Structure 1
């Protein structure tokens, strides 16, 4: 049409269908199980730590891999923040460093790979990370298919939105260009709210039924 080779758009009546993808994330209990687990091998301990780092920073695998010590600076509140850009979208991510995140950074500060290659963390290949995460899921009795990207979903849901962090702040830390992208996580939480309220509703119903039965007797 731009070159006047055709006079009408053959796709004018075509409408693409969007398929909703279910985002898997870890619950607070599952995160705690991974934190508390005492792994017998260094490789699993390392993968666990890197995965938790992502859970509490929202950073994807490639963004964690690209981190150096220079990405850490003091934020507007005088506390340490991570200042980086997402490789996927090239958008800025500014993330406050939580205590557990700082503990992981401190743990590997003097690791040979970090010292020699100017890395913040000694991360393995994505393939190895995901392979070992499946092993970690088995040891921790987590039935979900654990992959590195689940850490990012966990940050958006369990770590932030569930704890009352405004969706605008979550979106900025995730490095989303559009708030609609972040709102998908809020939809997941709406489902969780519905399930929780159903439990509460059933408890209230049973309680009221007991009172009615007692009055009848």
Structure 2
């Protein structure tokens, strides 16, 4: 997943439409927002907390549970990039998105241009988000909350455990138990 993400970020899209779809794919990858949630994202869902950091706070229509998603640099920059443009959303929405079918067609073209052999779809961004978070050491309980899942077992379906993550976890375990037990 990290390889595809790097290729995607390094390959400039060919048209304005592809650039927007590319950016929205990245936005979803770094927030875990499903396409429907992204399409309905409103500025009043973006909340500044006491520490000054901005969060997306919304109830997921699919599950009826709340999602609390911290906004990091890339999503924040994308919000600002499209604010007050022709692509900005209407009536308080952050973005104006096309249909998911049209977005997926553009993603196929973007993947081909970036030499990504995998078929890119918006459905995969939640999986990408969970895998990215896990690979960076975020606990699955936290990922489950940001995705708005009712149970961790749902999050486990989304989260592909990578060999790199397994290696890191086992190396950390080996360091913690080193010298504690004698044979």
Partner of 1:83: 57
Query: Is residue 155 of structure 2 the alignment partner of residue 182 of structure 1?
Result: yes
* SS of 1:114 mapped into structure 2: coil
Q: Counterpart in 2 of 1:101?
A: 75
1:59 Cα shift? 0.6
Structure possessing the higher radius of gyration over alpha carbons: 1
Give the drift of 1:122: 2.3
What is the DSSP-based 3-state SS (H/G/I as helix, E as strand, rest coil) of the residue aligned with 1:73? Answer: strand
> Aligned equivalents of 2:164 and 2:12: distance in 1?
33
Root mean square deviation, CA, Å: 1.9
Decide which moves more: 43-52 or 176-185.
176-185
Displacement of 1:184? 2.8
2:63 match: secondary structure: coil
SS, match of residue 88 in structure 2: helix
Answering whether residue 166 of structure 2 is matched by residue 192 of structure 1, we say no
What corresponds to 2:118 in structure 1?
A: 144
Q: CA deviation at 1:150?
A: 0.9
What is the correspondence of 1:147-186 to structure 2 with a 5 Å cutoff?
A: 147-158=121-132, 160-186=133-159
Alignment of 1:48-87 (within 5 A): 48-75=22-49, 77-87=51-61
Unaligned runs of 5+ in 1: 1-26, 198-217
Shift of 1:60: 0.3
The number of residue pairs the alignment matches comes to 168
Give a deviation string over 1:14-62, Cα, whole Å, max 9, x none.
xxxxxxxxxxxxx222112111212221010000000000000001000
Runs of 4+ in structure 1 over 2 Å off = 75-78, 112-118, 183-186, 191-197
| Selected match of 2:15 from 14, 26, 41 | 41
If the length of structure 2 is used for normalisation, what is the TM-score? 0.85
Distance (whole Å) between structure 2 residues aligned to residue 193 and residue 121 of structure 1: 35
